Structure 1
Amino acid sequence: MSEAVHMAGQRAVENPLLAEGLKLFFPVAALHAVLLPLAWIVLFAYALPFAHEIPVSQWHAHEMIFGTYAAALAGFLTSAVAEWTDTPPRHGRALLALLFLWLPGRIVGLFGWDALVIVAAATDLAFLGMLLWYVLRALITRGSTRHASFAVWVALLWLLELSIRLAWLSGNADLAGRLLHAALVVFVVFLSLAVARINVVVINLALDPGGTTTPYRPHPGRQNLAAGLVAVYGAAALAAPASAVPAWLALAAAAALFDRLAEWFIGIAVLRTHVLALAGANLFAALGFMAIGMAGLGAPLSAATGLHLLSVASLGLAVLAVFIIAGLRHSGRPLDLPWHAHAAVLLMLAAGLVRILPETGLATFLLGKHYALSAFLWSLAFLVWLAGFLPLLRHPAGFVGRSAPQTISR
């Protein structure tokens, strides 16, 4: 029996998809992003069959944040932290354990199963706790605190998940909504911190595809300013949602994100799809916080429009860009994008615009249909990425020539 277990573990290690976190969790996150919206629209017509006490809209938000985006985060951190700290990446059974903890909550969330909230909470908290330990263990092994901020934000995400589930169990939907808003903000912080590291490599390779020079150096003041202001806004929005303070802080966060667009003033090299995708994610985040701030100060805008700019347009485009960049680099390939990558980015851009424009008074002919159409385009974007990149992740190629620069800057 023990020999059979050992052989199964050995096969898991040898499977290319279990060699490191992103090779497993990026396809898992993409598959979740493909299936979940279609199931909710086609099978359940937005009305989840077992959701009676918890609002359906909150189930939808939770599963986008703690389902799709949390799986993407797990893939990113289990690979990136190992790269930053020069420690062996988690692989094989360690990744499967993480996956099996993530999965039960997604089954419960698919049906909006109120009665199984405690079960889903237990496994989701265990999933985030294990992810936190994987990050901490690498930092401890290396004796480094340089990237400890990621551990802090994973811990905060764990706390928010616990609080959301407790709010649901106590019937406090208003508090749960504010906590979900805070969880979304945490993911925007992750986006900002990740882009600060990824962009250094991506822009340098765009300027010099051979990787022999590094002409781009980021402005130190921009690396953490946007993330810091987004975090301050999130704390204020959670603590004092009825005041004007969060609105002003949202505008400050928007200003920092707009200022950060200067990183992409690199001439014609910016026209590469993956470079534009990261810039677009940053732009949509800035527009999202601007909309939230203006709505809070009385402008004829809905704060929900700003939240959709963040959740669909900004994070959707950012996650897809990371999937494309890391999918190529970590499968031993240069950043020569296949057609799937270009198509997926265009579909995600369309999904974001279709979701947002009717809410701003533009493309009003889509009103009433834009939810389903945006969800379909969102699912199709991830499906196209999955079709193009899963074979690449399953069959890594040797990188020919000079050693490739790291995907994620230290």
Structure 2
Amino acid sequence: MRTLAASPAFSLGFRPFFLAGAGFAALAVAVWALWLYGRLPGAQPIGGMLAWHRHEMPFGFATAIIAGFLLTAVPNWTGRAGLSGWPLIGLVSVWLIARLAWWLPISPMVLLTMQLPFLPLLAWCLGRDLLAARKRENYPILLMITLLAGCQMMTLWGILTDDVGFQRHGVLAVLWLVAALMSMIGGRVIPFFIQRGLNRPAPAATHPLATRVLLLGGMLAALSFAAGLNDTPRGWLAALYLLLGGVHLLRLWRWHDRGIWRVPLLWSLYLAYVWLVAGTLAMALWHAGWMPQQSLATHALAVGGIGGLILAMIARVSLGHTGRLLQPSKTVVLGFVLLVFAGLCRVLLVPFSGVGLGLSALLWCTAFGLFLTRYTGILLKPRV
């Protein structure tokens, strides 16, 4: 048992959570697609497959990656030792038990009690270090995790009470919160990655206004979803999403360097961020009455934006924090390409053909599967 706690796999948060999150991303979408096409008969999870899919993609997949990233980044920001050994094993176990609970013969109320502890525990682990180091500029991260926990409670309550509308509002709210959190983290690390990856001079410090607008705007968008205000088109919400999309575009323009197109770890991040722009502007178009399906904007954000940023980020962070060269294999680069096409199929092909959803799911699962084939060994072995 001591050997397990001392193993490289539990030396820092990114190792177990990146592996668990990537594996779950491939498995969960495969299960969802097989069920949709009638290839997975038999027992369903509590609340049904749609409720399970809605909950598990943000609160199972995305939060695992967020936990892995923050449990690795916060020690760098604070200079304090990161969570490792048995405490990290315990946190991973809480996440894993929550994933398995959906398929156990338990009551819905027991399911709820098994789902809720993870995010508060994560907030506590991060908060004690940030508060001890007085890193006030990072306190918004704790607020975001608290809001994620609130959205999870809302979603689970909708499942328990069989209130589909309440459930949907909670899921869409958390989607925009995750996008806001990623835009905040992306604004911090993507310019740094570009500067280091292309050996450019350090850029001048940028004004924090863009980050604040995207963070506050994302929280306002999430609040509007939680309140059900996005159920019908509204002009002021079209203006909000147009503003957010414009700020995202301004960021892309500032970050662009022709050299990024030669470096897979950079263009993968850049293209994924383009999907954030697409999803945000698509919401503006829907509220303006120029787009027929709101779900196209939602899945542009979820598949291309959040999925793409996650895959590119975990590929880069895993190499950097294990002391390896920042050169992903051709297999992983193929995964980056496949995920871009997964987003395109989900948004452009699904409205015209039922094959689009299955193809998108296949590309998504293959992309994360390719990551696992190349990175499992890296994440389980010591730093070189």
Q: Work out which of the residue numbers 75, 80, 92 in structure 2 matches 1:87.
A: 80
Corresponding residue for residue 103 of structure 1: 96
Following superposition of structure 1 onto structure 2, how do residues 289-308 of structure 1 map, counting pairs within 5 Å?
A: 289-308=280-299
- Between the aligned partners of 2:284 and 2:199, the Cα distance in structure 1 is 39
Query: In the alignment, does 2:236 pair up with 1:229?
Result: no
Corresponding residue for residue 312 of structure 2: 321
Tell me if the contact between 2:242 and 2:280 (Cα under 8 Å) persists in the aligned partners.
yes
Q: Work out which of the residue numbers 241, 248, 271 in structure 2 matches 1:280.
A: 271
Deviation at 1:63, TM superposition (A): 0.9
Tell me if the contact between 2:13 and 2:69 (Cα under 8 Å) persists in the aligned partners.
yes
Query: In the alignment, does 2:371 pair up with 1:379?
Result: no
Question: Does the C-alpha gap of structure 1 residues 207 and 216 become closer, same or farther in structure 2, counting only changes over 3 Å?
Answer: farther
Further displaced range: 370-379 or 53-62: 53-62
Deviation at 1:215, TM superposition (A): 4.3
Tell me if the contact between 1:164 and 1:180 (Cα under 8 Å) persists in the aligned partners.
yes
- Between the aligned partners of 1:333 and 1:396, the Cα distance in structure 2 is 11
Corresponding residue for residue 247 of structure 1: 238
Corresponding residue for residue 68 of structure 2: 75
Corresponding residue for residue 346 of structure 2: 355
Deviation at 1:193, TM superposition (A): 1.1
Question: Does the C-alpha gap of structure 1 residues 377 and 13 become closer, same or farther in structure 2, counting only changes over 3 Å?
Answer: same
5+ residue gaps, structure 1, are 1-7, 399-410
5+ residue gaps, structure 2, are none
- Between the aligned partners of 2:245 and 2:24, the Cα distance in structure 1 is 30
Following superposition of structure 1 onto structure 2, how do residues 144-293 of structure 1 map, counting pairs within 5 Å?
A: 144-208=135-199, 213-215=201-203, 217-239=205-227, 240-241=229-230, 242=232, 244=234, 245-293=236-284
1:94 maps to amino acid: P
Tell me if the contact between 2:173 and 2:223 (Cα under 8 Å) persists in the aligned partners.
yes
Count of residues paired in the alignment: 380
What SS is found at the alignment partner of 2:82?
coil
The one-character-per-residue Cα deviations of 1:154-201 (angstroms, maximum 9, x if unpaired) are 011111111211222222211110111001111101110110121132
Corresponding residue for residue 53 of structure 2: 60
- Between the aligned partners of 1:185 and 1:115, the Cα distance in structure 2 is 31
Alignment root-mean-square deviation, CA: 2.3
Question: Does the C-alpha gap of structure 1 residues 290 and 266 become closer, same or farther in structure 2, counting only changes over 3 Å?
Answer: same
2:218 maps to amino acid: V
Tell me if the contact between 1:61 and 1:180 (Cα under 8 Å) persists in the aligned partners.
yes
- Between the aligned partners of 2:224 and 2:320, the Cα distance in structure 1 is 38
Corresponding residue for residue 4 of structure 1: none
What SS is found at the alignment partner of 1:90?
coil
Corresponding residue for residue 332 of structure 2: 341
Tell me if the contact between 2:46 and 2:52 (Cα under 8 Å) persists in the aligned partners.
no
Q: Work out which of the residue numbers 32, 43, 55 in structure 1 matches 2:24.
A: 32
Further displaced range: 18-27 or 296-305: 296-305
- Between the aligned partners of 1:184 and 1:226, the Cα distance in structure 2 is 14
Question: Does the C-alpha gap of structure 1 residues 225 and 37 become closer, same or farther in structure 2, counting only changes over 3 Å?
Answer: same
2:18 maps to amino acid: F
- Between the aligned partners of 1:235 and 1:20, the Cα distance in structure 2 is 33
Deviation at 1:217, TM superposition (A): 4.5
- Between the aligned partners of 2:367 and 2:45, the Cα distance in structure 1 is 32
Query: In the alignment, does 2:290 pair up with 1:331?
Result: no
What SS is found at the alignment partner of 2:202?
coil
Tell me if the contact between 1:17 and 1:394 (Cα under 8 Å) persists in the aligned partners.
yes
What SS is found at the alignment partner of 1:333?
coil
- Between the aligned partners of 2:281 and 2:213, the Cα distance in structure 1 is 16
Tell me if the contact between 2:183 and 2:215 (Cα under 8 Å) persists in the aligned partners.
yes
Deviation at 1:246, TM superposition (A): 2.6
1:167 maps to amino acid: G
1:36 maps to amino acid: A
Following superposition of structure 1 onto structure 2, how do residues 391-406 of structure 1 map, counting pairs within 5 Å?
A: 391-398=377-384
What SS is found at the alignment partner of 2:282?
helix
Tell me if the contact between 2:248 and 2:276 (Cα under 8 Å) persists in the aligned partners.
yes
Question: Does the C-alpha gap of structure 1 residues 287 and 43 become closer, same or farther in structure 2, counting only changes over 3 Å?
Answer: closer
1:376 maps to amino acid: L
Deviation at 1:357, TM superposition (A): 1.0
Corresponding residue for residue 403 of structure 1: none
The percent identity for this pair of structures is 24
Corresponding residue for residue 5 of structure 1: none
Corresponding residue for residue 4 of structure 2: 12
Question: Does the C-alpha gap of structure 1 residues 299 and 119 become closer, same or farther in structure 2, counting only changes over 3 Å?
Answer: same
- Between the aligned partners of 2:330 and 2:16, the Cα distance in structure 1 is 22
Question: Does the C-alpha gap of structure 1 residues 294 and 332 become closer, same or farther in structure 2, counting only changes over 3 Å?
Answer: same
- Between the aligned partners of 1:118 and 1:102, the Cα distance in structure 2 is 17
What SS is found at the alignment partner of 2:136?
coil
1:231 maps to amino acid: M
Tell me if the contact between 1:53 and 1:171 (Cα under 8 Å) persists in the aligned partners.
no
Further displaced range: 281-290 or 17-26: 281-290
- Between the aligned partners of 1:52 and 1:90, the Cα distance in structure 2 is 32
Deviation at 1:114, TM superposition (A): 9.4
Further displaced range: 372-381 or 220-229: 220-229
Calculate the TM-score normalised by the size of structure 2: 0.92
- Between the aligned partners of 1:222 and 1:31, the Cα distance in structure 2 is 34
